[in-house]
Structure 1
Amino acid sequence: MRSAPSKFPKTLLRGCNENLIEFGDIPQLARLFGALAEPTRLKLLLAINAAGRLGATECVKASGLSQGRTSVHLSCLAGCGLIAVERVGRRKYYRIADPAIPDILQLARLHVQAATTTINECQSAQPTAS
């Protein structure tokens, strides 16, 4: 296994030299990365992370989609454990569910910065439509 580039902060690499993935975890990891692979869901996750907490109306604005389509994407993110939903009266608020998620997003951003050309040339992995 190749080691991570040295520009990754050591705090984000805790445990990366241990057994990274067990074969039994692959189906769940594939579902998690599938949720992250959809551009609207990623946009929503980043907006929620930046704000700390967003109401449903703000999520619709952040997604640029209808309330119904946004709700489907939020349900997926919640179903995968990426966001948590809090009800206050009739309103719903969304927040990051796990403190490790910002680290995952940061590692992904660092990888994209280091491998932008390669990623842009990849013909196999294409984002899905909303």
Structure 2
Amino acid sequence: MRSLPSKFSKSGLLQTQATLVQGEDIPHLSRFFAALADPTRLKLLVAINSAGRLGATECVKASGLSQGRTSVHLSCLAACGLIAVERVGRRKYYRIASTLVPEILCLSHVVVDENVATLAQCRTAQPTAS
């Protein structure tokens, strides 16, 4: 079982939970989680995070989709602020836009590890098609 990163404690997270999520934040949080909900986008985010930086060609290989479909997913991740795009000549490179994104991925793994059995049985929340 994974553990919380040292700078996150369960008590600290619970204390700030009420102040972090306000009613007006819900639409933004919903879009944020929608960006993460697509398996291809999540796969790309994990691949970029693991590599530190990936070129467009490497992203296509990581996604297993066509260049066009991969580009749509990368555009979504960039529009949501999860990745940054850097142009070097004619090539595009993608990197994680915030140091918080790897931490979010880590925290997500903690939650999944704690709930793997119930998540496997869940029929309501299903991954969307890419």
Pairs within 5 Å for 1:38-117:
38-117=38-117
Task: Report the TM-score when normalising by structure 2.
Answer: 0.91
Query: Gaps spanning 5+ residues in structure 2: where?
Result: none
Shift of 1:8: 2.2
Distance 1:110 1:79 in 2: 26
Q: Which residue is equivalent to 2:36?
A: 36
Q: Which residue is equivalent to 1:3?
A: none
Relative contact order: is structure 1 or structure 2 higher (C-alpha 8 Å, sep ≥ 6)?
2
Aligned-residue CA RMSD in angstroms? 1.3
Structure with the larger helix share: 2
Pair 1:12-2:8 in alignment: yes
Shift of 1:11: 1.2
Query: Gaps spanning 5+ residues in structure 1: where?
Result: 1-6
Distance 2:9 2:43 in 1: 24
Identity of aligned residues (%): 65
Runs of 4+ with >4 A deviation: none
Distance 1:60 1:88 in 2: 18
Distance 2:48 2:100 in 1: 14
- What are the Cα deviations for residues 52-100 of structure 1, in whole angstroms up to 9, with x where unaligned? 0000000000000000000000000000000000000000000000000
Q: 1:13 to 1:103 in 2, by over 3 A?
A: farther
